């Protein structure tokens, strides 16, 4: 084992504090990365606080990881020491089932999917995430990162980026489609950038009137304050797709009503409570509701390459790691423009 340090919580009501722990030695297929930046995802907050059910503690959160490779195992072929690399939400899966072989490791059929943190690895030990100085990961789950983009803005692509890119690609969202992006936070602002890049007409649906100028600067064509009943009414039967990035309980019926014939509501946000829908809201216009979970490793690489080619990064506020508990409080108040990213030099 090798020594590592990071920030951890020890129970659901704890705040993040410095914590020393150990990582496994670099095995034949492993890559060791010295972490430069780690994005702060709302999923970190959900899990730190056991909002999705009991979490595993101590927990070092963080799954938007970028840094430089400092060591590779003897069987590693795809990476070399000194290269930039990224790690997202997954660090292992069976790599043998149909879904893994098809590049959809997030849906590993054999139950061997291992999340980057708040999980137990195949060695029986807990996994620890990116709010830390280094990480050791099987090469299959390591992504190549371009040196042409600012690294702090690349970190959020490893979760917020792929989670919004993947459903937009799956549903072939492009020119001629009207897309509503529900919630302008970390995921939402990436959804706007990608939907605009793919040629769709984009409307931001937000509870925060003060985000209108930002939404338009991000490339959105329209902005709707969802607390204003008149603005909401004007969007009845309007969208082909809604990408729902909201992290808290909200009124699904109100948004389903905005879908035109065969419109699709795509859930990527994961509020802690089960969702409630009135049957008639689905029957009318033959609407559908579906979900999407991050994206597989090949598609994550495709997304990173697309971003490098089109100069797309996340809009970030870089923070010292000692600010992390304040950052969480600000995220809960929808006060982040549009992703906090921890500068790991400050650890
Ligand atoms: P975030 O940065 O905090 O953004 C969430 C946004 O939702 C807020 O900025 C706010 O936007 C809106 N919102 C918050 N409370 C609301 C409410 N009560 N009603 C309506 N809108 C509300 O969070 P994030 O990091 O983007 O994550 C969003 C969600 O996606 C989380 O639940 C996270 O766990 C989940 N997630 C899922 C996946 C996946 O694979 N599916 C991957 C990553 C994250 P406005 O101010 O514009 O209203
Ligand atoms: Zn995430």
Helix crossing, 297-310 with 160-170: angle to 10°? 100
Unique residue bearing structure tokens 């809009």: 315
How many Å is the maximal CA-CA distance in the chain?
A: 63
Cα distance between residue 315 and residue 149, in whole Å: 12
C-alpha neighbours within 13 Å on the C-beta side of residue 250: 20
Ligand 1 centre to CA of 3 (Å) is 34
H/E segment holding residue 290: strand 288-291
pLDDT band for position 137 (cuts 50, 70, 90): very high
What CATH architecture applies to the domain 161-291? 3-Layer(aba) Sandwich (3.40)
Query: 262-266, long-range: CB within 8 Å, 24+ apart, which pairs?
Result: 262/286, 262/287, 262/288, 263/239, 263/287, 263/288, 264/171, 264/240, 264/288, 264/289, 264/290, 265/241, 265/289, 265/290, 266/167, 266/171, 266/241, 266/242, 266/290, 266/291, 266/292
pLDDT of residue 145: 98
Q: What is the mean pLDDT of residues 19-31?
A: 97
pLDDT band for position 291 (cuts 50, 70, 90): very high
Please report, rounded to a whole number, the percentage of residues in the chain having pLDDT higher than 70.
100
Q: Give domain limits for the chain.
A: 2-156+296-346, 161-291
Q: Can you say whether the dihedral through the CA atoms of 129, 130, 133, 137 is positive or negative? A: positive
pLDDT in tens, 220-264: 999 999 999 999 999 999 999 999 999 999 999 999 999 999 999
159 pocket-lining for ligand 1 (C-beta < 6 Å): yes
Q: Can you say whether the dihedral through the CA atoms of 290, 292, 293, 297 is positive or negative? A: positive
Query: In a mutational test of the pocket of ligand 1, which residue from 38, 42, 223 has the highest number of ligand atoms less than 8 Å from its CB?
Result: 42
pLDDT of residue 38: 99
Cα distance between residue 92 and residue 147, in whole Å: 26
If you take atom 18 of ligand 1, which residue's CA is the nearest one? 248
What CATH architecture applies to the domain 2-156+296-346? Alpha-Beta Complex (3.90)
181 pocket-lining for ligand 1 (C-beta < 6 Å): no
161-291 has the same fold as 2-156+296-346: no
Residue 252 structure tokens: 């699904």
Q: What is the mean pLDDT of residues 75-95?
A: 98
**3-class SS at 120?**
strand
Ligand 2 centre to CA of 63 (Å) is 6
């Amino acid at each position: 084992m090798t020594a590592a340090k990071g920030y951890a919580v020890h129970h659901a009501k704890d705040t993040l504090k410095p914590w020393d722990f150990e990582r496994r030695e670099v095995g034949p297929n492993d890559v060791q990365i010295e972490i430069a930046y780690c994005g702060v995802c709302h999923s970190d907050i959900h899990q730190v606080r056991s909002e999705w059910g009991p979490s595993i503690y101590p927990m070092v959160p963080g799954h938007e990881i970028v840094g430089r490779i400092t060591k590779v195992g003897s069987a590693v072929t795809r990476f070399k020491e000194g290269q930039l690399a990224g790690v997202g939400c997954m660090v292992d899966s069976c790599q043998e089932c149909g879904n893994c072989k098809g590049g959809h490791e997030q849906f590993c059929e054999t139950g061997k999917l291992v999340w980057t943190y708040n999980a137990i690895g195949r060695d029986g030990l807990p996994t620890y995430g990116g709010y830390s100085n280094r990480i050791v990961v099987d090469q299959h789950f390591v992504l190549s990162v371009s040196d042409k983009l600012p690294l702090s803005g690349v970190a959020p692509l490893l979760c917020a980026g792929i989670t919004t890119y993947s459903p937009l690609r799956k549903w072939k969202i492009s020119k001629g489609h009207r897309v509503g992006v529900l919630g302008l936070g970390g995921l939402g602002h990436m959804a706007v950038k990608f939907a605009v890049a793919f040629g769709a007409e984009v409307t931001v649906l937000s509870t925060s009137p003060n985000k209108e100028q930002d939404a338009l600067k991000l490339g959105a064509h329209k902005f709707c304050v969802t607390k204003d009943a008149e603005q909401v009414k004007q969007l009845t039967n309007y969208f082909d797709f809604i990408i729902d990035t909201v992290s808290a309980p909200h009124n699904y019926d109100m948004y389903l009503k905005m879908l035109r014939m065969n419109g699709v509501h795509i859930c990527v946000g994961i509020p802690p409570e089960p969702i409630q829908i009135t049957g008639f809201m689905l029957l009318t216009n033959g609407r559908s509701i579906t979900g999407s979970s991050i994206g597989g490793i090949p598609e994550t690489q495709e997304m990173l390459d697309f971003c490098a080619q089109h100069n797309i990064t996340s809009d970030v506020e870089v923070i010292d790691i000692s600010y992390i508990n304040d950052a969480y409080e600000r995220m809960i108040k929808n006060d982040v423009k549009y992703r906090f990213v921890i500068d790991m030099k400050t650890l």
